[in-house]
Structure formats: structure tokens, C-alpha cells
Structure 1
Amino acid sequence: MQSILIVGAGFAGAVHARQLAEAGYRCQVIDRRSHIAGNAFDEVLPNGIRVHRYGPHLFHTNNKGVVDWLQRFTEFVPYEHRVEALLADGRTLPMPINRRTLEGLFKVDLPTAAEAEQFLHSLAVPMEAPSNAAEYLLSQIGPDLTDLFFRPYTKKMWELDLEELDTSVVKRIPIRFDDEDRYFPNDQYQFMFKGGYTAAFERILDHPLISVDIGREFSKSMLKDYHYCFNSMPIDEYFDFTFGPLPYRSIRFHHRDVPAEEGAGTATTINFTDAGPRTRETDWSRIPDHLVHRTGRKTLTQEEPCDYVDNNMERYYPVKTSDGRYQAVYEKYKALAEKTNECGFIGRCGTYQYLDMHQVINQSLKHVNDWIERQK
């Protein structure tokens, strides 16, 4: 029986391990952290609130195949995420922008979606081919909304101006002309994992051919003991930063234990539009199955972006610039990886991509199933 080494116990590693084990491969999963589940790791605090240690993870997708695969390991709790933006005057408005956002901000009456679309079009600055995030936003919503909702937030989040960021960074955020205020309005499946993500990972990794060793660092000397390695570690680190480090943004989390009735707005997450260091606040008690025990208390978590080197090397978000300079560096590492017969790179840090949960699951299923087929 061939043995496979899997580096990382997040979604990429766990999906690979489960599929390989079911195909008859013995899998050793290691992770440098002290827990499984990667950035989706969650835990229940003493005040009875379930929190995600590395920030809110909200499952949403149109991919039924991913949902069907997950149903083997977890039940689902329906949840549709909503976000509001906190203004300087203390009001909160729906985010992403919709008809109510426009009415509340500009003090106008827009009875229909068509009128809201026409109004927003009047604010926009026409551009044929936006080359960066700033130009894209200006072409869609104009300077006032760009400067209020995106420019300060982006500077805090990325430590870059909108003009320096790729359009893909902001294209992920929808713009609506009706009253739709769900953050993911176009996704058919939106839910949380009943009992939390960590419990689901325990079930995914519960197989006689899977062994898990947490708190263990990867070393290239391990490779000789395995037929192959699927590796989700940072690809630049694996190759000893030959072409220089790939930049990531990280997040410092600030938790507050407060009375259950405290909190601004009505949405789960509040985005801050000011120039202060923090980007948003999440009220975990508003997410289903996250108020586990009633204690009269709850947790509010604020996020403060920073460089990953200033946060214990915790890499969260690859940096995508409008000139593609970091992507070009990644392509050099990718070329090195393609010459490596003993190791394949997976997941967010292995492929230098920002991936939602459903995307990394789908990518991992395809990748590992294709690999298994090639071995036959």
C-alpha cells in the first residue's frame, strides 16, 4: 500500500486525504498548527459563543457537487449573510450597495430598481476597459461611493491604494439596484455547518487509512518516506524564497466579551468606513448555531489588517496588484513546482490564490481525483 504525505489539515489537505484514503492510499496528514481545520477552525468560548478563530467563514456556492460531498460529513444550518456599513453620523446602510443604500446616503427617492440603476449610472465615470480597482469602481458607482465605501477600507485591508489593486479584488462585491441585501445574493446554497467546521473536519479525517499529526512542521527530509506529497504550505517557503517572498495580508483579531444586547446595526457584520486601523466587526451570536449556551454575554470581534510578517507569519490574503508583479513571481515558483516529481502544491498558499471554501473543495476534488486516475 502506497503512503502519501499531506501537508496541511485545512480544506485542501482534508479533501485530498479523504479521497486518497477511500481510493486505498495510506495518508499521513501533518499541520504546523495545534489544530485541524485550517483557517476554518472554530471553538466555543466560555461565554457560550462559537467563534471562528481566523475570522468569519461563510459557506455559499452554486456547486451542487461540493454540497453533495459535504453532506457526507455534516448537516447544514441555513444562513444568509448580511453586512452593513457604519457611517460617520452613526447610521448603518446596507453593504454591498443597493437601492436603500443610495436612498439613505443621497436623500433621494428611488421607488424602483430601474430608477436606482439610472441614478447610479449618473454617478459613474464611463471607462471602456478599467485597468485597476479604482477605475473599475469609478466606472460602476462613481467617485463619491468609491471614496466612502471602498477607498479607506481598501487602504486598511491591503496597505495599497485602489489604483494599485487588480480589478478582481473589488469585482467580487456585487452591486444591486433593488432592496436585495444578502451579501451573496446569487448563490443557491448558503449555510453554516451544524456543530461547527472543526467537527466536520474530524469526520472528514476519520478514516482507518488517515493519520493526523498536528503541531508538526514539514521538512523536505520527510519526502523520501512517501510515494508522493500534496503540500499546502506557502510555495515560496518550500523553495526557500528563491525568487523572494510572496506578500500576504494578515488579520489581528480583537475580541470583546459584552452583554448580549450590545452591538450596532442589525447585520452580522459591520464594515467601518473611517480611516481607523480596523475594517469590520462581527457579532457571532447572529449566526445560527453559534449561540451554543445562553450566558447573557456574547463576543464581538473586530479585525485589524496587517502584513503577515507582523502577525506570526499567518498568511490570509494573497496580494493581487494591477500590474501583476506578485503574480509574475508566483509563476516562477509554479514553474519550479512543475519540475518537482515528488510534491504537488494545493490550496490557497500552495497556489497563491484567494479561494472561498467551496472553491478550494471543488479544486481539491478535481485535483486529487485526476491524480488518482493517472495512477491506474
Structure 2
Amino acid sequence: MKFDWLIVGAGFTGAVLAERIASQLDQKVLVVDVRDHIGGNAYDYYDEHGVLVHKYGPHIFHTNSRKVWDYLSQFTEWRPYHHRVLASVEGKLVPVPFNLNSLYALFPPKYAERLEEKLICTYGFGVKVPILRLREAEDKELRFLADYIYKNIFYGYTLKQWELKPEELDPSVTGRVPVYISRDDRYFQDTYQGMPKHGYTVMFQRMLAHKNIKVLLNTDFREVENEVHFNRMIYTGPIDAFFDYTYGPLPYRSLRFEFEYKTLARFQKVGQVNYPSEHNYTRITEFKHLTGQKHHGTTVAIEYPQAHIPGKTIPYYPIPKEENRILYELYKKETQNLGRRVFFAGRLADYKYYNMDQAVGRALMLFGEISKL
């Protein structure tokens, strides 16, 4: 068969580009994915008990981009959902990101009030302060607070998640969960927040249900690149794998999930509870909070970070360190030798952590370039 495009990967990046090319340029697209499903890490399904779960961990959609929201709204209705997270700290469950409500949950009222006044006076209300910046505060009590938060919320979680101390990571990582000088308990403050009403997989099915798109699963693109005729390729997989690890593998962190079904209507108060210091897992997600599903039982996912082994585990998180960026740049330079026949985009191809909306935005931007070819 003949195709205008071969797209490797059926996650957000690949699916968006396939849909745009097929519907807007009226060109034929073959999408291949090594997995047995579409949707990438956002794939969801009904487990054996009939509970809708996210196979690769919780995916909560949020964005400030009207363009991204409107684009995806063509393929799904939305269930309004504001994600809330609690962290187990010294036997108490407190809101994270750490905020003013967390202060009063952990400290005596008068002391919490004094700390609140100092935080607002120093940084302002409604401000998000990275924990490493807060640890540099001149005020002695604010430094105490920063050290307390660092020790009880950041340090243990980061060590489990990355096997690195917070100081060893790029500031973009530690800045993702700042101290929030507010009483807003929502994990995200984006303008648009919600969950696909019928799940992510249904949304992806609608995106790829176009006469110009053919999807081939359980297939490594190497198996078909010499068997089918195509003009150009979009590659969303690991960039180091594309070049056969010429410069060595790019480091990633991976995850392992244990799913447990409970004969309870609800297992925990919110969708996600973090365990920064206790246990060897990082968090427990209860999916019914996210999906709003009505069911007599509930399923939770217990999340264990682990090292990534190429070919054996799934690469989830690029590790943002300078030496890894330098290694990635070697691979990126190799892409220049391919001209405009192969395009690289996505979390694995760009070796960059993207939220879902960022992956969609990146794909839409690339489509803008492609449409001018």
C-alpha cells in the first residue's frame, strides 16, 4: 500500500498529527505502534471488575491553552474535574502542593497564623514559591518551615521518584510542585480542567476514525518501513532507539503499578494520596474520583518508581540533568542528516517531559510547519 505519511506512535503526538494530516491535508497516513492499543500512556480501559482505570497511571487533563482545549473538544465531551492531592505527613493527610491550609493542618493555630503572615508579607498572596528558593529565605522561621516541607514532603518523594536529591535535578522538576501561598487546594490552577467524559481511549478512537488513517498495532516500525511505501515519517518514539543507541541509551525513570480492587464505594478521600516518607511506593490513585464512574466497588493503583531498562521497562520520565541534555543533543544533531523526510516530536523523541496539553500543542505546532511543505 502507498501512504503519504508513516507515523510511529499512537499517543497524543502521533494521533493529533495523524488526524490533522488526514482531515486537513487529505493525505493518507499509516500509524504504527508497538503496543496492542492506541492512546500511548493515556490509554484507559475497564478492568475485570468493570472499573475504568488508567493503565499507565493517572492522567488528569489541564491546560491554559484555548486552542488545545477546543481542538480536543472536537473528539470528546468533558467531565469537569479538579484534581486534589493529599500527602501523608507525620500521620496526617495534608493538601499538596503545600499551601496555607497545609500550615494549619500541621502546626498549632497561632504559629500557623504567624507563618502565614510572614509568607504573604515576604512573597505575596497567590504566589507559587519553589521549595529550594524558600529554603534561602532570610527569616529564620520561614527557613524552618522550608526545611520542614523539604524534609517531610519533597526529599523522600523525590528520592523515590528519581533516585536523586532535589538539588541534583533541573529546577524545572522541583518547580513543578511549589509551595503555594493560597487556600486553593486544587493541584492545578489551569483555566481548563476536565476528564474525557467517556475516557481517553474513546477520544483517541474518534481522532483516528478517519478514512485516510490506517492503524497497525503490535508492530515495530522497523518491520514495515521497507514493506510499505511512504513519502515522509513522523517519529514519536525514543530518539536513541531510532539511531540504535549509537551514543548510548538516554536515561529515563520508569514506573510499576499494582492494581487492587476494593469492595468499597470509596477507598480514600481524594483521587490521589502521596506517601513522601513512608512505604516504598510514592502514591495511590483511586480512579473513580477522576472518572466520576458509579460502581459498587473501586480500583486503586499503587505506584512504584523504578530504573528504566531499555527493552524491558517503559520509559516514562526523561531525567533532566545537564549530562543527559548533552547526550540528547548528539542524537538531535543526527536528525539533521535526514532532511525533511523524518520529523521527530513527542516526549520520547524530544527527550522532554510534556504534560498532555503540551504534547498536543507541540503536535499542532509541527502540523503548522508540515502544512507549508
Residue 241 in 1 paired to residue 269 in 2? no
**Deviation digits for residues 296-334 of structure 1 (CA, Å, limit 9, x no counterpart):** 21111110000121883301100012xx11011001111
- TM-aligned CA deviation for residue 8 of structure 1: 0.2
Matched residue, 2:303: 303
Q: Distance in 1 between matches of 2:100 and 2:175?
A: 19
2:90 maps to a residue whose letter is A
Identity, in percent, stands at 35
Q: Distance in 2 between matches of 1:366 and 1:157?
A: 31
Residue 225 in 1 paired to residue 222 in 2? no
In structure 2, the CA distance between the partners of 1:38 and 1:345, relative to structure 1 (3 Å rule), is: same
In structure 2, the CA distance between the partners of 1:195 and 1:261, relative to structure 1 (3 Å rule), is: closer
Q: Distance in 2 between matches of 1:112 and 1:142?
A: 14
Q: Distance in 2 between matches of 1:189 and 1:319?
A: 28
**Deviation digits for residues 110-136 of structure 1 (CA, Å, limit 9, x no counterpart):** 459961625987xxxxxxxx9xx8744
Structure 1: runs of 5+ lacking an equivalent = 122-129
Matched residue, 2:142: none
Does 16-25 or 309-318 show the bigger shift? 309-318
- TM-aligned CA deviation for residue 104 of structure 1: 1.9
The CA RMSD over aligned residues, in Å, is 2.3
1:301 maps to a residue whose letter is A
Aligned residue runs from structure 1 range 256-271, under 5 A: 256-261=260-265, 263-264=267-268, 266-271=269-274
Q: How many residues align?
A: 356
Q: Distance in 1 between matches of 2:366 and 2:178?
A: 29
Secondary structure of the 1:285 match is helix
Matched residue, 2:80: 78
Matched residue, 1:215: 218
Q: Distance in 2 between matches of 1:350 and 1:330?
A: 10
- Kindly indicate whether the alpha-carbon contact (under 8 Å) linking 1:36 and 1:201 is maintained by their aligned counterparts in 2: yes
Aligned residue runs from structure 1 range 1-376, under 5 A: 3-22=4-23, 23-89=25-91, 91-109=92-110, 110=112, 115=117, 117-118=119-120, 135-136=132-133, 138-139=135-136, 142-185=146-189, 187-219=190-222, 222=225, 225-261=229-265, 263-264=267-268, 266-289=269-292, 291-292=293-294, 294=295, 296-309=296-309, 312-321=312-321, 324-341=322-339, 342-373=341-372, 375=373
Q: Distance in 2 between matches of 1:165 and 1:338?
A: 29
- Kindly indicate whether the alpha-carbon contact (under 8 Å) linking 2:262 and 2:297 is maintained by their aligned counterparts in 1: yes
Secondary structure of the 1:168 match is helix
- Kindly indicate whether the alpha-carbon contact (under 8 Å) linking 1:113 and 1:177 is maintained by their aligned counterparts in 2: no
In structure 2, the CA distance between the partners of 1:104 and 1:134, relative to structure 1 (3 Å rule), is: closer
Secondary structure of the 2:29 match is strand
Q: Distance in 2 between matches of 1:61 and 1:173?
A: 16
- Kindly indicate whether the alpha-carbon contact (under 8 Å) linking 1:250 and 1:311 is maintained by their aligned counterparts in 2: no
Secondary structure of the 2:181 match is coil
Q: Distance in 2 between matches of 1:280 and 1:183?
A: 14
Q: Distance in 1 between matches of 2:361 and 2:121?
A: 39
In structure 2, the CA distance between the partners of 1:84 and 1:111, relative to structure 1 (3 Å rule), is: same
- TM-aligned CA deviation for residue 275 of structure 1: 4.6
Secondary structure of the 2:279 match is coil
1:299 maps to a residue whose letter is T
TM-score (structure 2 length as normaliser): 0.90
Q: Distance in 1 between matches of 2:132 and 2:178?
A: 16
Secondary structure of the 1:338 match is helix
In structure 2, the CA distance between the partners of 1:310 and 1:214, relative to structure 1 (3 Å rule), is: closer
Q: Distance in 1 between matches of 2:154 and 2:241?
A: 32
Secondary structure of the 2:135 match is helix
- TM-aligned CA deviation for residue 105 of structure 1: 1.8
Q: Distance in 2 between matches of 1:137 and 1:247?
A: 29
TM-score (structure 1 length as normaliser): 0.89
In structure 2, the CA distance between the partners of 1:52 and 1:120, relative to structure 1 (3 Å rule), is: farther
Does 362-371 or 192-201 show the bigger shift? 362-371
